């Protein structure tokens, strides 16, 4: 696990360009505190910061092929590296290390761009092929690892794992009106839109190849859900076998491994399956809250850890610490994300690192990929009815409000909170800025692609927005802030491929009970009472935390960074008390703090002091 950065120069490299990459690399030290490396091969500079997980002594990056004319820097883990290594050695390739990243270099030598289909892992990498003068940039299928791109006025291409690193190469950093609008509607900025002006995001499951003659090449997909195939005859067995395999592979490391354990199905099954492969080696960390509200699941998690005979540590989050440390949390985010569960991810990663566990398994992805959200299951049923010519289908949360039937396939447009967020965001913006956005920009950028089957269109949209831009971005930034690698067995590429393939072949598991495939596959693995519980995850006392944070920090919005950027009308009447609900004010407060911290380069302690004045 690392942070990577680099440059493909439009012409001959300059010393000052190399120095800029060095500064970009330094800003990623939290992602890789163990070592750093750089290779300069005009017109390319590749740099990395390393968090040592596999081959602690020999896995230093950049990594090269046998003839030293192909180099790579990679952020992530290739879980099937042992299998790939055996295949490549059998084909005559000579390895200089046990590093998982080295398998990518030799797989590229052997298979060219087709090597991407063979990588089972989470990754973002940059590979320079000297003989071909080719730069290959690639990102994993689910988008677990981030990859930002920026092309400057001289057509130099800069890239990095984080915005705060990429910003070093940018003459100015401005939050775009589009990102402002989307964040205040969704609580995150859904890909492919990037928060900062001029920045692009390499899409998940895509690669970009740049070589002489195609400097303006566009990213291309190397994997698509609609193309997955699998036999749907025994779906429970497929899930059971695939999940067991994923947990075995992801539990492998040359450092101690732990699991983030709540009382829900997803993290419980990851803990239980992994513990079977690594008895007495796994350790669990769970989050609790002072005063033990109903959302506190420590007792359930502790009971399961004892049953599995694994170590257990609980971390209690106090209301006061959450409010006091809010600027520090936002500073660690890199991109603005308004998920109040953020502090739980931050705290559990911090506790794991302090206890000596730099690898943390998580059950994230179970709800998103296995129909764990009732509103997503309902969207499938509703849109199936609409496409069948039955417009009387009405979202369940609209029935009691007397809403009219929905007669067009839709996903986000039926959510009142999102519509209201969009409306309020536009009300804050000066008309000259707001008028540049299409009236339905927020929804047009986040609508169902009905050129695909519905069982592909709905998960694809959910994954690109909520899962990738909120959940995966949040867990990546907050875990890597503490130099912890988080692995997600429920988003294992092979598991995703097999389940998607079975759906493509006719399996309709969204019509089955809640998370049917997972629950049935785990019947004899975790206790029945855990399988029967609805997942809560790290769910904090939301209202109390939000209210206290808004009370402490919302005054910063007045004549603040967002006003100075021209995104909020300077008139104080725009923010008169009671105009917006608590959640919108929380999002707006967080965005103001994020802008001050990341764009104005204020320190968290400065922000705390200003809020206290």
Q: Is 572 exposed, middle or buried (0-12, 13-18, 19+ CB in 10 A)?
A: exposed
Give 3-state DSSP helix, strand, coil % of the chain, rounded to 5.
45, 15, 40
Q: Which two tokens stand for residue 272?
A: 């239980």
Whether 537 is in a domain gets the answer: no
Higher pLDDT, 218 or 405: 218
Average pLDDT over residues 5-22: 96
Q: Which two tokens stand for residue 399?
A: 């029935």
Which of residues 483, 508, 532 is at a domain's end? 532
246 and 324 in a common domain: yes
CATH number for the domain including 35? 3.60.20.10
Q: Give the C-alpha separation, 565 to 292, whole Å.
A: 42
String of b and e for 122-143 (b: at least 16 CB within 10 Å)?
bbbbbbbbeeeebbbbbbbbbb
Q: How far, CA to CA in Å, does 554 sit from each of 84, 147, 442, 550, 608? A: 52, 31, 24, 5, 12
34 and 70 in a common domain: yes
Spatial neighbors of 595 by CB under 8 A, at least 6 apart, are: 175, 560, 561, 562, 565
pLDDT(204) > 60: yes
8 Å CB contact between 97 and 59: yes
299 and 435 in a common domain: no
Closest to 335 in 3D by CA, of 150, 486, 475:
475
Sign of the torsion formed by the C-alpha atoms of 523, 527, 528 and 532: negative
8 Å CB contact between 550 and 578: no
Instruction: Tell me what percent of the residues of the chain surpass a pLDDT of 90.
Output: 81
Taking each helix axis as running N to C, give the angle between helix 177-186 and helix 582-594, from 0 to 180 degrees, rounded to the nearest 10. 140
392 and 305 in a common domain: no
Whether 563 is in a domain gets the answer: no
Whether 579 is in a domain gets the answer: no
Q: What is the pLDDT of residues 349-398, one digit of tens each?
A: 999 999 999 999 999 999 999 999 999 999 999 999 999 888 655 565 55
pLDDT of the residue at 151: 96
Q: Give the C-alpha separation, 420 to 211, whole Å.
A: 46
Whether 581 is in a domain gets the answer: no
pLDDT of the residue at 394: 59
CATH number for the domain including 289? 3.40.50.620
Closest to 297 in 3D by CA, of 306, 305, 287, 307:
287
For the chain, how many structural domains are there in total? Answer: 3
Which of residues 532, 547, 579 is at a domain's end? 532
Average pLDDT over residues 48-53: 91
Cis peptide leading into 109, omega within 30 of 0? Answer: no
Q: What is the pLDDT of residues 34-50, one digit of tens each?
A: 899 999 999 999 999 99
Whether 166 is in a domain gets the answer: yes
pLDDT of the residue at 575: 76
Three-class DSSP category at 71? strand
pLDDT of the residue at 539: 63
pLDDT of the residue at 400: 44
8 Å CB contact between 191 and 469: yes
8 Å CB contact between 49 and 28: yes
8 Å CB contact between 327 and 463: no
Whether 399 is in a domain gets the answer: yes
157-160 β-sheet, strand order? 35-41, 44-50, 2-8, 157-160, 148-151, 199-201
8 Å CB contact between 383 and 454: yes
231 and 218 in a common domain: no
Higher pLDDT, 532 or 434: 434
383 and 527 in a common domain: no
Q: Give the C-alpha separation, 572 to 557, whole Å.
A: 10
100 and 140 in a common domain: yes
In this predicted structure, which of 202-206, 287-291, 603-607 has the lowest mean pLDDT?
287-291
Three-class DSSP category at 340? coil
Q: Give the C-alpha separation, 394 to 405, whole Å.
A: 5
- Band of the pLDDT at 53, cuts 50, 70, 90? confident
232 and 217 in a common domain: no
8 Å CB contact between 315 and 287: yes
278 and 178 in a common domain: no
* CA atoms within a 13 Å half-sphere pointing along the CA-CB vector of 202: 36
Range of the domain at 448: 374-462
Whether 191 is in a domain gets the answer: yes
Q: What do you get for the CA distance between the two ends of the chain, in Å?
A: 41
208 and 59 in a common domain: yes
124 and 29 in a common domain: yes
Q: Give the C-alpha separation, 223 to 218, whole Å.
A: 15
Which of residues 223, 256, 283 is at a domain's end? 223
Residue indicated by tokens 């320190």: 603
283 and 138 in a common domain: no
8 Å CB contact between 358 and 256: yes
Q: Give the C-alpha separation, 581 to 386, whole Å.
A: 32
Q: What is the pLDDT of residues 93-104, one digit of tens each?
A: 999 999 999 999
Whether 521 is in a domain gets the answer: yes
Q: Give the C-alpha separation, 363 to 344, whole Å.
A: 14
């Amino acid at each position: 696990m690392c942070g990577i950065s680099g440059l493909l120069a439009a012409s001959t490299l300059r010393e000052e360009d190399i120095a800029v990459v060095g500064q970009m690399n330094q800003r990623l030290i939290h992602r890789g505190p163990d070592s750093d490396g750089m290779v300069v091969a005009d017109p390319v500079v590749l740099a990395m910061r390393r968090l040592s997980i596999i081959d602690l002594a020999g896995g230093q990056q950049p990594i090269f092929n046998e003839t030293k004319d192909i180099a790579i820097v990679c952020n992530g883990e290739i879980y099937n590296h042992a299998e790939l290594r055996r295949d490549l050695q059998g084909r005559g390739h000579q390895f200089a290390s046990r590093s998982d990243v080295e398998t990518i270099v030799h797989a590229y030598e052997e298979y060219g761009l087709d090597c991407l289909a063979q990588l089972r892992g989470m990754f973002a990498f940059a590979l320079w092929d000297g003989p071909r003068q080719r730069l290959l940039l690639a990102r994993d299928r689910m988008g677990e690892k981030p990859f930002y791109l920026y092309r400057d006025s001289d057509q130099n291409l800069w890239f990095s794992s984080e915005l705060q690193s990429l910003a070093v190469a940018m003459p100015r950093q401005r939050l775009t009106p589009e990102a402002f609008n989307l964040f205040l509607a969704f609580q995150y900025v859904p890909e492919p839109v990037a928060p900062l002006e001029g920045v692009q995001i390499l899409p998940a499951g895509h690669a970009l190849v740049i070589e002489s003659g195609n400097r303006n090449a566009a990213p291309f997909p190397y994997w698509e859900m609609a193309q997955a195939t699998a036999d749907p005859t025994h779906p429970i067995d497929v899930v059971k076998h695939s999940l067991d395999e994923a947990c075995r592979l992801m539990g492998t490391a040359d450092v101690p491994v732990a699991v983030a354990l709540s009382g829900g199905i997803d993290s419980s099954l990851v803990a239980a399956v992994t513990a079977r492969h690594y008895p007495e080696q796994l350790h669990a960390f769970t989050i609790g809250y002072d005063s033990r509200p109903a959302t506190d699941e420590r007792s359930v998690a502790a009971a399961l850890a004892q049953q599995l005979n694994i170590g257990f540590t609980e971390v209690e989050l106090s209301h006061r610490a959450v409010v006091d440390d809010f600027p520090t949390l936002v500073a660690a985010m890199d991109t603005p994300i308004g998920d109040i569960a953020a502090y739980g991810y931050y705290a559990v990663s911090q506790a794991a690192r302090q206890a000596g566990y730099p690898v943390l398994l998580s059950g994230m992805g179970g709800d998103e990929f296995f129909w764990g959200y009732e509103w997503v299951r309902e969207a499938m049923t509703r849109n199936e009815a609409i496409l069948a010519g039955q417009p009387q289908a009405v979202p369940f949360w609209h029935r009691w409000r007397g809403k009219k039937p929905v007669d067009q396939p839709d996903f986000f447009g039926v959510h009142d909170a999102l519509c209201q967020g969009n409306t309020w965001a536009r009300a804050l913006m000066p008309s000259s800025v707001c008028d540049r956005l299409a009236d339905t920009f927020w929804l047009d950028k986040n609508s169902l692609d009905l050129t695909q089957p519905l069982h592909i269109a709905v998960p694809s949209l959910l994954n690109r927005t909520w899962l990738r831009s909120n959940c995966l971005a949040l867990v990546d930034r907050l875990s890597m802030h503490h130099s912890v690698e988080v692995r997600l067995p429920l988003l294992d590429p092979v598991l995703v491929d097999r389940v998607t393939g079975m759906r493509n072949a006719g399996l309709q598991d969204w019509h089955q009970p809640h998370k049917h495939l997972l629950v049935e596959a785990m019947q004899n693995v975790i206790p029945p009472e855990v399988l029967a519980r609805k997942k809560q995850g790290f769910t904090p006392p939301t209202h109390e935390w939000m209210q206290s944070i808004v009370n402490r920090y919302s005054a910063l919005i007045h004549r603040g960074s967002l006003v100075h950027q021209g995104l909020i009308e300077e008139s104080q009447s725009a923010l008169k008390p009671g105009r917006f609900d608590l959640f919108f004010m929380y999002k707006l407060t967080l965005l103001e703090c994020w802008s001050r911290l990341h764009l104005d380069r204020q320190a968290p302690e400065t922000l705390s002091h200003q809020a206290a004045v």
